[in-house]
Amino acid sequence: MIHYHPSIEILTDYAAGSLPLAHSLCVSTHLERCHECQQQIRKLEMLGSHLFDQTKTDSRQLSNLKDSFFEKLNAQAEQNNSLKVEEEPTAIDWDNYAIPKSLRQFIKKNYDDLNWMRLSPSFKIATLYNEEGGAQIALTRVKAGAHMPTHTHTGDEITLVLEGAFSDESGVYRQGDFINRDASHKHKPIVTKDAECICLTVLDAPIEFTGWLTRLLNPIIRRYHPHSS
Amino acid sequence: MERAIQIEPDEQRVADMLAIAEHRDQAALVRLFDHYVPKVRAFCLAAQPGANLMADDIAQEVMIRIWNKAHTYKPESASLNTWVFTLARNARIDYLRKNSRHQSDIDPEYLWQNVVDENADPFKDAQQKRDQERIQQGLDKLPADQKQVLAKVYLEGKTHKEAAEELSLPLGTIKSRVRLALHKLTIYVKR
């Protein structure tokens, strides 16, 4: 059962297509597991289609555009007479984790193939993509029962639980939960004892560790964030 | 009323989709071109006023997708207008990501793939129509300020934050206008 969902603002921006792509990636991954939000998106897209339908069109002559379009279409039809629709195989890694569809552009086969960087004996991070001048998209992987170092966010952070569960002062987060934290938030998550926890995170700015020892990690974290260059 | 006459062309267009899917009917595509291309162009120009070349490119891309994906359109799960709106939205995102200052490698194709609704039920069609009607009628009655914000978000492609900056209003005001509007349209029920 999913308890934490994207806010209605985030869902609206997503349905409208105005949400940044990195954030949309998290919403999309959440939607794969959340029937409730799927229904919400369905209605929000309906609203979009009515607004779309009501846009004022200009009276521009489109016959040239039309001619060139149909020329292109016919050329395309000659080139490839059969349109291949490739069905992607379901990616299931050997720990039996099903990779969400939205992440398969970054994770072809399994989580283990990623370039994991070990930050502590129980905590690893793998960068999926650094947006130019934008957000960092990464996976974090924490061993069962382990603490994540206490940290604050220097920008907004979205976390989506892919596997396992973790908790902090405000609650317990399980598979599919969508957690949106802003810069003021300082927390110390603990992974539940039964299984490791893999999360998708999108950081608008690097996180900052606040523990006395883990503070040493901050320069490394910053170096891997796209805003640092 | 105008709405009563609109039903027929809608049905014609759904039939056109079927004709494209089943026997690659170009005459049907011409009819859809005439109807949708001006709308897609207007949708693009709302986000980037004056960018006619971009609008032409995206409109053509949408028509290609209609042609290539006609067989994936399921009238029972979405109206044709909604389906085309999502195509236009995705094509616009894709165009902007490839041509903007901040290029991104995140492929939107992976993000807005139609989520298969496993809980299909026999009343879905009726539910679908009811939702459509409620939204359509509610939209006509919305106060101008709420409608303006919805247009910023949906047509101009602005986030809530950007809409707030542009209208010189606090973010909270924008949020509450959108929430009020969604509430009236019975899209948003507080959980």
Q: Which CATH architecture has domain B123-191?
A: Orthogonal Bundle (1.10)
Q: What is the CATH number of the domain that holds A164?
A: 2.60.120.10
Residues of chain A neighbouring B119 (CB-CB closer than 8 A): 35
Cross-chain residue pair A42–B78, CB shorter than 8 Å: yes
Q: Does B21 touch chain A (CB under 8 A)?
A: no
**Would A73 be classed as within a structural domain?**
no
Cross-chain residue pair A18–B112, CB shorter than 8 Å: no
Q: How many domains does chain A have?
A: 2
Which domain does A40 fall in, by range? 8-51
Residues A19 and A130 grouped into a single domain: no
**Would A70 be classed as within a structural domain?**
no
**Would A99 be classed as within a structural domain?**
no
pLDDT of the residue at B80: 93
User: Which residue type does A136 have?
Assistant: Q
Cross-chain residue pair A73–B67, CB shorter than 8 Å: yes
> What is the DSSP secondary-structure string of B14-48?
HHHHHHHHHH--HHHHHHHHHHHHHHHHHHHHHHS
Q: Does B88 touch chain A (CB under 8 A)?
A: yes
What CATH number labels B1-114? 1.10.1740.10
From B68, B151, B175, residue closest to A51, measured CB to CB:
B151
Residues of chain A neighbouring B42 (CB-CB closer than 8 A): 55-58
**pLDDT tens for residues A88-137?**
555 555 556 889 989 988 998 889 889 999 988 899 999 998 877 678 89
Give residue B121's pLDDT band: very low, low, confident or very high (50, 70, 90): low
Residues A43 and A121 grouped into a single domain: no
Cross-chain residue pair B106–A105, CB shorter than 8 Å: yes
Residue of A nearest to B40 (CA): A52
Residues A35 and A118 grouped into a single domain: no
Nearest-CA neighbor of A213 among A150, A166, A122?
A150
**Average pLDDT over chain A, rounded to an integer:** 83
More confident residue, B64 or B101: B64
Residues A45 and A147 grouped into a single domain: no
Burial class (CB within 10 angstroms; exposed 0-12, middle 13-18, buried 19+) of B83:
buried
Overall average pLDDT of the B138-153 stretch: 92
Angle at B69 between CA A18 and CA A106, to 5 degrees: 55
- Name the CA dihedral angle for B12, B14, B20, B23, rounded to a multiple of 10 degrees: -80
Residue A66 DSSP one-character state: H
Residues A220 and A138 grouped into a single domain: yes
List the single best residue of A28, A30, A49 to mutate versus B (max B Cβ within 10 A).
Answer: A49
Whether the predicted pLDDT of A193 surpasses 80? yes
Domain layout of chain B by residue ranges: 1-114, 123-191
**Would A16 be classed as within a structural domain?**
yes
Nearest-CA neighbor of B145 among B163, B126, B119?
B163
Residues A206 and A124 grouped into a single domain: yes
User: ipTM score here?
Assistant: 0.89
